[in-house]
């Protein structure tokens, strides 16, 4: 599963390290002699689903360190599990330490939260997909999307460039839902599906009639979602569209939405409020 070129990730890690140590790591430079080599290990301090360990390891190799994953991406680990082995220049390892840990902890938290919500949904309705949104920290998109996939979720669209999603502000400018859908369908490539976001059950029907391929029921209560689905069925439109439910959905209410049998449930909670997965780096041996 390749989402990010390791050379690009390596350059990003360097950028983040420069932010953390703009004029060097003064403590390490005072205490650790040049040329000292060590072996180190990254250890999980809490349970969770690890993500992108192999990506980070490949990037660190490009940056001159020895790095080897000790667990598989998407694997559930317990407290005390060794996640990655590192070797090389001691100053470099200490310089990279916090940046590497921050990346791995964030991505593990996202994968863990995704797995948690996916498991809830599957226990209620295995047919329903759980998807992420575009609510991600700039610069981390590819890693975050991969963490979602490793947690069992759907990445949804990666960017504004690869999918058509008509939102409320588009509709406000164009005039109405039907006009926006027809305009998009008439101008878009045959290769692109058209999704439209609606906030009222009646607009779901209008969007489907106008030719939308995907209808997103946004910020609707379970009762409103049920109403929208019933209206689509009554009009003979339910099987013609993919129905996505989104907005305000988390682990506490996702089961209620899954029971209604939409096709997709998307939520930003998996990327904006990840689980806390702690890790540490320990020096194992001086070389």
pLDDT attached to residue 47: 98
User: What is the per-residue pLDDT across 41-71, written as a single tens digit (0 to 9) for each?
Assistant: 999 999 999 999 999 999 999 999 999 999 9
- Record: fold of 6-116+274-286: Aldehyde Oxidoreductase; domain 3 (3.90.1170)
Query: Phi and psi for 127 in degrees, rounded to 5?
Result: -75, -25
Mapped onto helix, strand or coil, the DSSP state of residue 21 is: coil
Q: Report residue 2's pLDDT band, with 50, 70 and 90 as the boundaries.
A: low
Instruction: Evaluate whether 150 touches 52 at the Cβ level (below 8 Å).
Output: yes
Q: What is the mean pLDDT of residues 193-203?
A: 98
Assigned token pair, 278: 């702690």
Catalytic residue among 61, 98, 182, 240: 98
CA distance 43 to 82: 4
CA distance 236 to 239: 7
- The CATH code of the domain at 122-272 is 3.20.20.70
Give the count of beta carbons closer than 10 Å to the beta carbon of residue 91: 20
Instruction: Mark whether 78 is an active-site residue.
Output: no
Q: What is the mean pLDDT of residues 89-112?
A: 98
Residues contacting 136, CB < 8 A, separation 6+? 144, 145, 271
How do beta strands 214-218 and 242-246 pair? parallel
Instruction: Mark whether 5 is an active-site residue.
Output: no
Catalytic residue among 127, 135, 179, 285: 135
Instruction: Mark whether 218 is an active-site residue.
Output: yes
Catalytic residue among 36, 167, 276, 285: 167
Instruction: Mark whether 45 is an active-site residue.
Output: no
CA distance 218 to 228: 11
pTM, 2 dp? 0.95
Catalytic residue among 25, 178, 195, 275: 195
Q: Give the residue range(s) of CATH 3.20.20.70 domains in the chain.
A: 122-272
Instruction: Mark whether 154 is an active-site residue.
Output: no
| pLDDT at position 90 over 90 | yes
Q: In this prediction, what percent of the chain has a pLDDT beyond 70?
A: 99
pLDDT attached to residue 62: 98
Catalytic residue among 25, 218, 244, 275: 218
Q: Give the residue range(s) of CATH 3.90.1170.20 domains in the chain.
A: 6-116+274-286
């Amino acid at each position: 599963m390749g989402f990010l070129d390791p050379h690009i990730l390596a350059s990003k890690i360097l950028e983040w390290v420069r932010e953390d140590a703009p004029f060097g790591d003064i403590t390490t430079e005072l205490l650790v002699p040049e040329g000292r080599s060590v072996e180190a290990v990254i250890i999980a301090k809490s349970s969770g689903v690890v993500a992108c360990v192999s990506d980070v390891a490949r990037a660190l190799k490009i940056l001159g360190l020895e790095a080897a994953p000790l667990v598989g991406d998407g694997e559930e680990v317990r407290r005390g599990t060794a996640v990655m082995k590192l070797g090389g220049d001691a100053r470099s390892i200490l310089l990279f330490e916090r940046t590497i840990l921050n990346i791995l902890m964030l991505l593990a938290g996202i994968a863990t939260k995704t797995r948690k919500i996916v498991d809830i949904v599957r226990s209620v309705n295995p047919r329903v997909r759980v998807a992420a949104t575009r609510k991600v920290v700039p610069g981390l998109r590819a890693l975050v999307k991969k963490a979602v996939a490793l947690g069992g979720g759907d990445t949804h669209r990666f960017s504004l460039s690869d999918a058509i999603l008509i939102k409320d502000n588009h509709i406000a400018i164009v005039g109405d839902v039907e006009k926006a859908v027809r305009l998009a369908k008439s101008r878009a490539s045959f290769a692109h599906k058209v999704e439209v976001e609606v906030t009222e059950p009646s607009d779901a029907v209008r969007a489907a009639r106008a030719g939308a391929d995907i209808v997103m029921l946004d910020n609707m209560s379970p009762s409103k979602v049920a109403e929208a689905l019933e209206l689509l069925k009554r009009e003979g439109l339910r099987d013609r569209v993919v129905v996505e439910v989104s907005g305000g959905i988390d682990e506490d209410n996702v089961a209620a939405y899954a029971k209604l049998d939409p096709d997709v449930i998307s939520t930003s909670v998996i990327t904006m409020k990840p689980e806390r997965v702690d890790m540490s780096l320990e020096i194992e041996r001086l070389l």
